[in-house]
Structure 1
Amino acid sequence: MASFPTSLRGVLEQIPKAAIDSLEEIRIRENRPLEISYGSRPAFVKLDGSLTEDYRVAYVPGRDECRAMLEKITNHSIYAVEEELRRGYITIAGGHRIGLAGRVVLEKGQVAHLRDIAGFNVRIARARPGFGAQVLPGLLDEREQTIGHTLIVSAPQQGKTTLIRDLARCISSGEWHHPAAALWRGRKVGIVDERSEIAACEKGIPSFDLGPRCDVLDACPKAEGMMMMVRSLSPEVIVVDEIGRAEDAIAINEAIHAGVKVLATAHAATLADVFARPVLAQLAAEGAFASYVLLTRRGGKVAHRVVSARQAMLEGASRSGFKTATTTRPRDAPEARGAEGAGHA
């Protein structure tokens, strides 16, 4: 709440507790109604904090409030967060990402920065201990007694970051949630936290519990960070969020061939979407991942489905029209292990 101007904070602090407890997003748009998202549903906010579906009676933040908001989240120095502004977001203490809307300034055809910022989307970061417990047993590499290479996919705001955060904690702590893994030790986990959301570091120290054997490269580009991890921090598992660029694929393959397990997320609503994205499709065709986890929001719960690499190729490639001459068996997928599964978190 300290990131909001006084007048706006006064409205938000009156929101019903049930909505606060399940709050996901706060959307502030200059001269437009204040909106929140909670428990997978949207609502507009009135002056007294009560919720409504009628935008015409909602509280409307003005220019002064939006300017004050920008000053607060940048600590009165826009130049200090110039790189984040170029990417369209600012991450504040606690790992909360604030998306920004405004006028884009281009230099040589590339986004240089944003100006005239008049929209903010505050995405609330939450730790969900136990979220990974239902998913992790289907991702294990029993031969090497660790997690297999895994890609978690979903549309935005389905829980990918929350899930990998808890999976990192489980792996680091040795909480494998499977009878066969009762004696397995925890693994050294390296998190490349490009957007400062997974660990929510403050002065290099994670705000979230990531277990006892975890190192974080905060605000570091993914591809470069993965190579830095491999060269200097000897991780056994590398965790990265939202892959999709060609350089990400190169770094993932380098990490895999260096004997490091990779746990990553990507935006894709279905397996067909995975194979429709060239970089992800190529990684899949090369057998980079042993398992895929698909997350979907159903009401107030997140449903998950674990799919083996072979099934993903059959299901996703055929539906997307992706063509490949050969299907490479994943490097760490035991033939006998059942990788299909479903559940709720």
Structure 2
Amino acid sequence: MEEIFNVLPPYIASKIKESVSEKDLKELEEIRLRVHRPTEVVLTSKSIVIRSIQLTQEESKRFLARISQHSVYRLEEELKKGFITLQGGHRIGLSGSVNVQDGSVKAISHVSSFNIRVAKAVIGSAQMISPLIMDNQSNVLNTLIVGPPKTGKTTILRDIIRQISDAENGFRHHRVGLIDERNEIAATLNGIPQHPVGNRTDVMSDCPKAEGILMMIRSMSPEVIVVDEIGHEKDTRGLLEAIYAGVKLICTVHGDSIEDVQKRPSIQTLIRERAIERFVFLDRLSKPGTVKSVYDHRFEEIKRDKTIRSVQHEMDRHAAHPVHVHVGRAR
């Protein structure tokens, strides 16, 4: 938490601490700074608008320079992605005017909003899921975790990686290769993971999945490869290459039902090849991390347990989670 307050302009950090109780700060999820508009502090169960904190354009420029460590190169690269990663895995999302070249986003200029997202890795969030995705020899089964946005996929995936890597919760030791295309799982800073992903995990961050999978196989000889959010058929081809090389897979995809998964072009090949041995479906109507059902490669249900739950995470807050906005509470 201190990493965040250390990069904020001192008067803003001080004013937030004055306006939000110490108890509420323990539930801090986001701080949203908007140029010439009130600052919003998002907690687990409510949102507080602080009208006395309104970022000026000059303060916005200085803040941007500070969080990019006054590096023009880093600033250009980070602005292309739309966020900057801080020490501790915290992430600052950016929005403003977008520069487009040849149909691709090149940068965000005139940044007008900052969304500081508090990183909280939830150790043990996959404790009850892990036994469902291993065989009798404690080896990993090829697994696809399916759920709509905000159902805890990233949180669970991160903890599964840690458990597999460190041989916890019944797993034997595995070398894990994480292809972290959006740098959301490990949240590397200068190549070093800021979230706990295990001692035997090698991370390829900010790299397209298909290319990253092949690079990881050639360079690090992983026993398990993990990717988040399969979206393209070329991702599937990369996953099949890993399977043909004898590597196990764990990945996630957006969806809400078996029918959703079966209709996805990027997943159909994996289904046809019976490459996925476990389909884990998360429940969108319950707390993030709740398992709705688990199926084998034939889509036969093997377990259904609505008591398997994880804890809410800063990047996977459930869409149905109530957030009450209190305007004018702080001045």
The number of aligned residues is 304
**What's the counterpart of residue 121 of structure 1?**
115
Counterpart Cα distance in 2 of 1:58 and 1:156: 33
Q: Deviations over 1:142-166 (max 9, x none)?
A: 3x53121122233444332222121
Displacement of 1:167: 0.8
**Which residue, out of 153, 170, 179, partners 2:146?**
153
- 3-state SS in 1 of match to 2:222: coil
Mean Cα displacement is larger for which, 276-285 or 116-125?
Answer: 276-285
Matched, 1:9 2:13: yes
Displacement of 1:171: 0.8
Displacement of 1:244: 1.1
Counterpart Cα distance in 1 of 2:66 and 2:32: 16
**What's the counterpart of residue 246 of structure 1?**
233
**What's the counterpart of residue 163 of structure 1?**
156
Runs of at least 4 residues of structure 1 off by over 6 A?
297-300
Displacement of 1:254: 0.9
**Which residue, out of 26, 51, 74, partners 2:31?**
26
**What's the counterpart of residue 265 of structure 1?**
252
Displacement of 1:308: 0.9
Q: Is the 8 A contact 2:291 2:304 kept in 1?
A: no
What is the correspondence of 1:66-105 to structure 2 with a 5 Å cutoff? Answer: 66-105=60-99
Matched, 1:341 2:301: no
Q: What letter corresponds to residue 150 of structure 1 in structure 2?
A: T
Q: Is the 8 A contact 2:282 2:293 kept in 1?
A: no
Q: Deviations over 1:10-39 (max 9, x none)?
A: 233342233322322222222223223322
**Which residue, out of 122, 125, 128, partners 1:131?**
125
Q: Is the 8 A contact 1:35 1:42 kept in 2?
A: no
- Residue 280 and residue 100 in structure 1: after superposition, are their counterparts in 2 closer, same or farther (change >3 A)? farther
Matched, 1:141 2:135: yes
Counterpart Cα distance in 1 of 2:42 and 2:298: 35
Structure 2: state its 5+ residue gaps: 311-331
Counterpart Cα distance in 2 of 1:199 and 1:217: 10
TM-score norm. by structure 1 comes to 0.77
Displacement of 1:5: 2.0
Counterpart Cα distance in 2 of 1:67 and 1:117: 8
Counterpart Cα distance in 2 of 1:214 and 1:44: 39
Counterpart Cα distance in 1 of 2:36 and 2:184: 29
Counterpart Cα distance in 1 of 2:190 and 2:254: 29
Counterpart Cα distance in 2 of 1:276 and 1:19: 43
Displacement of 1:255: 0.9
RMSD over aligned Cα atoms: 2.8
Q: What letter corresponds to residue 3 of structure 1 in structure 2?
A: V
Counterpart Cα distance in 1 of 2:250 and 2:266: 16
Mean Cα displacement is larger for which, 257-266 or 199-208?
Answer: 199-208
- 3-state SS in 1 of match to 2:110: strand
Counterpart Cα distance in 1 of 2:11 and 2:256: 38
Counterpart Cα distance in 2 of 1:295 and 1:66: 39
Q: What letter corresponds to residue 341 of structure 1 in structure 2?
A: D
Counterpart Cα distance in 1 of 2:37 and 2:214: 44
Counterpart Cα distance in 2 of 1:23 and 1:17: 10
Compare relative contact order (CA 8 Å, sep 6+) and give the higher one, 1 or 2: 2
Displacement of 1:229: 1.3
TM-score norm. by structure 2 comes to 0.80
Q: Deviations over 1:191-238 (max 9, x none)?
A: 122333322334433333333322222333322221111112111111
Counterpart Cα distance in 1 of 2:132 and 2:90: 29
- Residue 258 and residue 310 in structure 1: after superposition, are their counterparts in 2 closer, same or farther (change >3 A)? closer
Displacement of 1:297: 6.3
What is the correspondence of 1:142-291 to structure 2 with a 5 Å cutoff? Answer: 142=136, 145-176=138-169, 181=170, 185-291=172-278
Structure 1: state its 5+ residue gaps: 47-56, 313-334
**What's the counterpart of residue 326 of structure 2?**
none
**What's the counterpart of residue 44 of structure 1?**
48
Counterpart Cα distance in 2 of 1:275 and 1:99: 33
- 3-state SS in 1 of match to 2:100: strand
